[in-house]
Chains A and B, each alone.
Chain A
Amino acid sequence: MRLLIQGGRIIDPQNQIDLTGDIAIEDGCILTVGATPSGFSPDNVIDATDKWVIPGVIDLCTRLREPGEEQTATIASETKAAASAGITRVVCPPDTYPVIDTPAMANMIRDRADSSGFSHVHPLGALTVGLRGEKLTDMAMLMDAGCVGVSNGLNAVENTLVMRRALQYASTYDIPVFLTPQDPWLTGNGVVHEGEVSTRLGLPAIPEAAETVGVARDLAVIETSGARAHINLLSCGRSVTMVAEARSHGLAVTSSVAIHQLLLCESDIGAFDTQYKVFPPLREASDRTTLLNGVRDEVITVICSDHQPHGADVKLAPFSEAAAGIAGMETLLPLTLELARQGHFDISTAVATLTCNPAAIIGIDAGHLSVGAEADICIYDPEQIWELQQHEMVSRGKNTPFLNRKIAGRAVATLLRGELIFLRD
């Protein structure tokens, strides 16, 4: 099987490539990048003129709802949505039902993904048993079963000693640890950022300190444990500053931000619109600016969707009782590249945050277009102006504040191991 992607703008940040040319694919792997080898006779040619050809997107935070909540979404439904959005690999947190805290659970998810998935699925194992923050999981065996790291989901590890030991233990095997720092007492029953909006709407608030106290603690513990830590889903500008400072002192900590945090802020909540309810909450406009600059300055090296599909009913509730989260996979790539094209950061930086950077964090050989690599590729049409419509969403979750938003550019084709798994009509 031979395939030729012809005449596209090839952007591959890992190999520092940005050129217009062809990609030849043979037996699922990339044969050449740039000029087509003489005598190459493809079975199929994809015309990528005026399109961008980038590595398949890797989304570091995606909830698939399987196992446990198959009535909401499934591995099949959500990986199909991923494919339609140029995403070829998704990393799913361990907070499924039951929790991914045993090798058997990790194996089961990989089996289900192999049989019904449209993209690669990489589970994260639980950091502590049942995510309860008390006992460590069998992390090494979880990794053997195919996990790409460990995480405690959105559950805080309240006991700092447990956190330190978990990080020390993970460092023994160089296991990546995903953390979403927060002080659970300061978070309390809060549902929005503490500020003008929470005061006016009378909603229980989450102060900035709920995150910054958590970041400060976790950075201190990371430093003494030597773990490979990744701070997931930053929301506060001051957290970015703290991470930048730690990195400048040589701490090998990485961080990510959800795409919606780069576009929205607290005032967008409007009339108690539950589509804007997320955790961590939307912060102030100044936080958003600092987060954008954090991406530009490569303090934050990953942008993820924090995809959380929900049924309609759990959003049809008073704000404080509605479920948090956005079904964000289908807008991850287009909105990230839109921000880059608006000049908030380089296009190559943007592509890196979605491809080679997340691959490096979970330690897999992917997210690039090197010769010989598996041909996981996304073709993006920068000229297509479209509006996100509920009935056109592929994800089972239709919960997003970006409905009816005009977006410039979207994925038009996705290849997994050289096979065309998605082609837009």
Chain B
Amino acid sequence: MMNPVSLSPIVSRMADEIKDRSLDAPLVIGIHTGGAWVAEQLHRELCIPTKLGTLDISFYRDDFSRVGLNPKVKSSDLPEGIEDRNIILVDDVLHTGRTIRAALNEIFSYGRPSSVTLAVALERPGRELPIEAAVVGKSIMPSGNEQARVSLKDGQLSYQLVVPDNGEATH
């Protein structure tokens, strides 16, 4: 198992890239749980006045009838009306694209945003849907059944590649 790699500098670079896009009054929304951590740092560094939003996409997942409900489902918390706003949707790892599909569905249940910009800290091959991120912190190439796991310890955001235990949830 590799040592944890700090994500903070990566996320800072993402913030710079987003600034260059000069979005008008953007809203930052992070996807539970890792995406919300990344979004928090972005939100801080982008100095956005509106509250950070979080999404729990458990109720929108397409594997509900196979794996059931996530027992730790949290409430989604969007800061204010998203109608006609520019949204920066943040996740930790972009893999199959299914999480993003679910997140977009949930966002649209609140209203019709003006635009959605996808920003991910890590991106890896394995897309199952036509979804790509506009802002990517780092591209990684895990081998075999390795997975990227993002963690937050003592305020330090980091990731490492791990092989999940048998039976452990992959989401």
In-complex A–B contact (CB below 8 Å): no
Q: Which B residues contact A (CB, under 8 angstroms)? A: none
